Amino acid sequence: MALTTLDKTPLQSARTPWPAGITAEFERERASPNGCVGQRLVSESSRVRVWHISLQPGERMGFHRHVLDYFWSVLTSGRARAHMDDGSTVEHTYAAGETRHESHTAGHFKVHDLENIGDSELIFCTVEFLDSANKPLPIPTRHACRAQSLYCAA
């Protein structure tokens, strides 16, 4: 049975004001959608994009936009915080091997960031399906989209 991100219960969820820098970055993403859903695009075919995310303790991947159907698998256990496009801040624990699926209808998307708040490296693999209800967002380069500390930009 495929579990979705909606099936995942957060350790903590709050709707408190974000720090000014986080809010400003979110607004930049809104003005210029960021299709880099990982730090590194490791493979792309006519059907899928495969991304890797590797976050050291305290490291954060900036806001990015999911418009395609996708799934992620976490390769290492850990804990992370995300600022979501609904204004909430959520914290989750992850178990190595955990996998979640998400689908987006036409016009629907999700924007969030991801920060490793655990004490060990947190590694994810995300697979996007290019044949989804929405068109893929452009990415800056074909095979090396590298996240900066705040924003994965061209």
3-state secondary structure of 44: strand
pLDDT classification of 13: cutoffs 50, 70, 90: confident
Least confident of 23-37, 50-64, 68-82, 140-154: 140-154
Tens of pLDDT, residues 89-130 = 999 999 999 999 999 999 999 999 999 999 999 999 999 999
Query: Residue 7, exposed/middle/buried by CB under 10 A (0-12, 13-18, 19+)?
Result: exposed
Superfamily of domain 13-129: Jelly Rolls (2.60.120.10)
Q: Please name the residues in contact with 64: beta carbons below 8 A apart, sequence gap of 6 or more.
A: 29, 34, 35, 36, 37, 111, 112, 113, 152
Helix (H) or strand (E) holding 125: strand 122-129
**Secondary-structure breakdown of the chain: helix, strand, coil percentages, each rounded to the nearest 5:** 10, 40, 50
- Residue 110's beta-bridge partner residues? 66
Tens of pLDDT, residues 14-66 = 888 999 999 999 999 999 999 999 999 999 999 999 999 999 999 999 999 99
Q: Are 31 and 109 in contact (CB under 8 A)?
A: no
How does DSSP assign 91-102, residue by residue? EEEE-TT-EEEE
- Domain map (residue ranges) of the chain: 13-129
| Cα-based distances in Å from 154 to 21, 33, 35, 73 | 20, 11, 10, 26
Closest alpha carbon to 38 in 99, 97, 125, 102: 125
In the sheet that 69-74 helps form, which strands lie side by side, from edge to edge?
40-44, 48-55, 122-129, 69-74, 99-102
